[in-house]
């Protein structure tokens, strides 16, 4: 199977339009204004998807679809959000979120929203798509997205829509995982050029994962606190959606530019507590008494180390040189930090490849988020280096 | 493509979210919010007589002939004015407030600061439409989040480290 940027754009627009229809259906049903925050086309391993469901403690409604397009959709809610939504629809039912009444309400939400979601795809492909009866899936012991036929591929292409409501009552995700033959159908319909085999994206994704592993090892060595890579993802996002992929809370860290093929931007961000912990680990004995300047230089130093760890492997794999600028220290709201980076790219591209990785310690001493935004055209050139001969 | 909704939202109460490359019009006691303004610029318009406000969150100064008009200052400002007029506002009564357009980083990019260009584009566009800029909080090197009150036209500007001001 092959993918090209034009197909990815088509995927992204279809998924976004579908999600808006789904959000509209929910607004009508509940009276709560619902928005689509971000639509991402993600290449992810089955395992990573399952892990996310477990960690975020998501309960979901799974609905299969078949006909012109086949696969699975999952509407996933944080457990509390599901209970709140059920309560809105059917006062009293939210008190027993596992009860029949609550479960059947959620299934009904799924039915209506997913119906709206797949309609747009059916229109575009000029076909009919039928949806199956909803199944309620609790996260415990289930892997809701992993039973889709992708042949032998461990990597799945996931359409992940983050929805939010005006009163912040509901924040949830709508996933769609088409089967491999169905992906081919969509790719053919978009008539793109310069297709890249899916394996190339998979190789790129592995390269990112290795970079994150290296960064994690380096950060562990520097702070003497064992860390592990929690998430490592490649997604394709409309440029204006990128800042909203970052939580709207204060973040401390560094921003750097990298130059080469590809060039782009990287942001290494810590929440405030994590930044304190990292600085303390690097400045032992300071007991938090170190001045702001020391704190800042410690964060800059770790930003440098993480960036090198993260990007060095790219240069080797892509057979190129990637130069890194001096890190700029940042302390601001997460989306406001990412905004100027993506705005700069937006001058020449409508969509961005967003690479995001999270490194965390076992005991929650700190969490570090890495966001990399390569220039789209240069990344396409770089991908050619990875294409199987 | 707008991030939040296909159609500009109009609300008469509650909280209306404006995404990036998005705009909304509101009346009554609604509050229109947008967050994460770095180099992006927020343009708030208010017709006090009609009690109608509008808020746009634009990324880039000039429309390049393709893509969503809500992404660009020079196309989103007239679109916002039109939308407000459609709800009963009169552009001759409108006043504007600007916020955002900061210069957070010095990139090697030689196309000049987008933040500054965004603010200039907003001033040019509003001047062309004959709308006076009453107050502004632009530039600097920090991000901003905005909350526009439909009943008073007050624009609250919050930042992570610079506190809060009301324009």
Question: What pLDDT digit, counting tens, does each position of B56-97 carry?
Answer: 999 999 998 877 889 999 999 999 999 999 999 999 999 999
Confidence band, pLDDT 50/70/90 cuts, at residue B7:
very low
Whether A337 sits inside 8 A of B104 (CB atoms) is yes
Q: Give the CATH fold of the A196-386 domain.
A: Chemotaxis protein chec (3.40.1550)
Where do the domains of chain B lie, and which CATH numbers do they carry?
9-166 (3.30.1330.200)
Model pLDDT for residues A348-371, shown as the tens digit of each residue: 888 898 998 889 888 878 889 999
The whole-number average pLDDT for the span A91-110 is 83
Which of A167, A240, A350 is the closest to B19 by Cβ? A240
Residue A238: pLDDT above 80? yes
Instruction: Sketch the domain layout of chain A as residue ranges.
Output: 2-190, 196-386
Residue with tokens 């290449």: A43
Whether B104 sits inside 8 A of A340 (CB atoms) is yes
Predicted local distance difference test score (pLDDT) of residue A154: 65
Choose, from B25, B40, B53, B150, the residue flagged as catalytic.
B40
Confidence band, pLDDT 50/70/90 cuts, at residue A166:
low
Contact residues on chain B for A325, CB-CB shorter than 8 A: 108
Confidence band, pLDDT 50/70/90 cuts, at residue A174:
confident
A276's tokens: 């304190």
In this prediction the ipTM stands at 0.88
A interface with B, Cβ–Cβ below 8 Å: 13, 16-17, 20, 23, 33, 35-38, 164, 166-167, 238-241, 243-244, 246, 248, 250, 255, 257, 259, 325, 328, 330-341, 343-344, 346-347, 350
The whole-number average pLDDT for the span A172-198 is 74
Which of B20, B71, B160 is the closest to A250 by Cβ? B160
Contact residues on chain B for A37, CB-CB shorter than 8 A: 3-4, 19
Residue A144: pLDDT above 70? no
Range with the lowest mean pLDDT among A165-174, A268-277, A292-301? A165-174
Q: A25, A268, A269, A340: best mutation site toward chain B, by most B Cβ within 10 Å?
A: A340
Mean pLDDT for chain A? 82
The whole-number average pLDDT for the span A167-191 is 74
The whole-number average pLDDT for the span A161-188 is 75
Confidence band, pLDDT 50/70/90 cuts, at residue B6:
very low
CB B141 within 8 A of CB B159: no
Whether B39 sits inside 8 A of A164 (CB atoms) is no
What's the CA gap between A253 and A269, in Å, rounded?
4
Predicted local distance difference test score (pLDDT) of residue A8: 79
The 3-class SS string of chain A reads CEECHHHHHHHHHHHHHHHHHHHHHHHHHHCCCEEEEEEEEEEEEHHHHHHHHHHCCEEEEEEEEEECCCEEEEEEEEHHHHHHHHHHHCCCHHHCCCCHHHHHHHHHHHHHHHHHHHHHHHHHHCCCEEECCCEEECCCCCCCCCCCCECECCEEEEEEEEEEECCCCCEEEEEEEECHHHHHHHHHHHCCCCCEEHHHHHHHHHHHHHHHHHHHHHHHHHHCCCEEEEEEEEEEEEHHHCHHHCCCCEEEEEEEEEECCCCEEEEEEECHHHHHHHHHHHCCCCCCCCCHHHHHHHHHHHHHHHHHHHHHHHHHHCCCCCEECCCEEEEEEHHHHHHHHHHHHHCCCCEEEEEEEEEEECCCCCEEEEEEEECHHHHHHHHHHHCCC
Predicted local distance difference test score (pLDDT) of residue A245: 81
- Closest-CA residue to A84 (of A61, A63, A101, A102): A102
Residue A1: pLDDT above 80? no
The answer to whether domain A2-190 and domain A196-386 are alike in fold is yes
Q: Is B40 a catalytic residue?
A: yes
Q: Output B93 or A103, whichever has higher pLDDT.
A: B93
Q: Report the share of chain A in percent with pLDDT over 90.
A: 13
How long a stretch of residues is chain A?
A: 389
Confidence band, pLDDT 50/70/90 cuts, at residue B4:
very low
Contact residues on chain B for A347, CB-CB shorter than 8 A: 60, 111, 114
Residue A5: pLDDT above 80? no
Predicted local distance difference test score (pLDDT) of residue A380: 81
Q: What is the SS3 assignment for B4?
A: coil
Which residues have a Cβ under 8 Å from the Cβ of A255 and sit 6 or more positions away? A265, A266, A267, A268, A327, A328, A330, A337, A341, B105
pTM exceeds cut of 0.95: no
Contact residues on chain A for B161, CB-CB shorter than 8 A: 331-332
Which of A35, A343, A344 is the closest to B4 by Cβ? A35
Contact residues on chain A for B12, CB-CB shorter than 8 A: none
Q: Output A118 or A268, whichever has higher pLDDT.
A: A268
Q: What is the SS3 assignment for B48?
A: coil
Predicted local distance difference test score (pLDDT) of residue B125: 96
Q: What architecture does CATH give domain A2-190? A: 3-Layer(aba) Sandwich (3.40)
The whole-number average pLDDT for the span A313-330 is 87
The end-to-end CA distance of chain B, in Å, is 30
């Amino acid at each position: 199977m092959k993918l090209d940027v034009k197909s990815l754009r088509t995927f992204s627009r279809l998924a976004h339009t579908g999600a808006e229809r789904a959000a509209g259906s929910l607004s009508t049903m509940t009276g709560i204004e619902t928005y689509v925050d971000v639509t991402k086309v993600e290449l992810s391993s089955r395992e990573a998807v399952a892990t996310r469901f477990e960690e975020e403690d998501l309960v979901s409604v799974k609905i299969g679809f078949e006909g012109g397009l086949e696969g699975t959709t999952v509407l996933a809610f944080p457990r509390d959000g599901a209970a709140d939504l059920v309560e809105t629809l059917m006062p009293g039912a939210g008190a027993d979120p596992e009860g029949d009444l609550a479960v059947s309400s959620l299934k009904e939400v799924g039915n209506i929203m997913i119906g709206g979601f797949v309609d747009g795809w059916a229109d575009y492909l000029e076909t009919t798509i039928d949806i199956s009866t909803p199944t309620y899936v609790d996260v415990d012991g289930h892997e809701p997205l992993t039973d889709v036929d992708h042949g032998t591929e461990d990597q799945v292409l996931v359409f992940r829509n983050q929805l939010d409501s005006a009163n912040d009552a509901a924040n949830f995700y709508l996933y769609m995982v088409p089967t491999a033959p169905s992906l081919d159908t969509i790719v053919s319909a978009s008539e793109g050029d310069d297709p890249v085999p899916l394996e190339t994206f998979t190789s790129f994704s592995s390269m990112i994962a290795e970079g994150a592993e290296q960064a994690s090892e380096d950060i562990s060595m520097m702070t003497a606190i064992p860390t592990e890579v929690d998430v490592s993802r490649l997604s394709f996002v409309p440029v204006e959606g990128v800042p909203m992929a970052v939580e709207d809370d204060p973040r401390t860290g560094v921003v750097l530019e990298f130059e080469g093929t590809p060039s782009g931007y990287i942001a290494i961000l810590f929440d405030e507590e994590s930044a304190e912990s990292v600085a303390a680990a690097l400045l032992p004995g300071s007991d938090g008494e170190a001045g702001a300047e020391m704190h800042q230089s410690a964060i800059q130093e770790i930003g440098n180390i993480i960036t090198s760890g993260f990007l060095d492997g790219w240069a080797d794999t892509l057979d190129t040189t990637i130069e890194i600028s001096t890190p700029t220290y940042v302390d601001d709201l997460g989306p406001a930090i990412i905004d100027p980076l993506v705005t700069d790219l937006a001058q020449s591209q409508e969509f961005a490849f967003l690479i995001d990785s999270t490194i965390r310690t076992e005991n929650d001493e700190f969490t570090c988020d890495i966001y990399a935004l390569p220039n789209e055209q240069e990344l396409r050139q770089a991908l050619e280096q990875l294409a199987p001969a | 493509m707008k991030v939040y909704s296909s159609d500009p939202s109009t609300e008469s109460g509650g909280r209306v979210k404006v995404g990036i490359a998005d705009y909304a019009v509101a009346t009554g006691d609604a509050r229109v919010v947008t967050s994460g303004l770095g180099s992006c610029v927020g343009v708030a318009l208010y017709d006090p007589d009609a009690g109608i406000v509008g808020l746009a969150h634009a990324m880039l100064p000039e429309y390049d002939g393709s893509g969503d008009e809500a992404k660009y200052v020079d196309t989103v400002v007239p679109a916002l004015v039109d939308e407000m007029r459609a709800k009963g506002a009169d552009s001759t009564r409108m006043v504007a407030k600007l916020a955002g357009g900061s210069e957070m980083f010095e990139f090697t990019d030689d196309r000049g600061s987008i933040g500054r260009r965004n603010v200039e584009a907003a001033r040019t566009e509003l001047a062309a439409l004959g709308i006076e800029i009453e107050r502004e909080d632009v530039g600097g090197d920090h991000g901003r989040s905005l909350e526009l009150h439909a009943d008073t036209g007050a624009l609250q500007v919050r930042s992570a480290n610079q506190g809060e001001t009301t324009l």
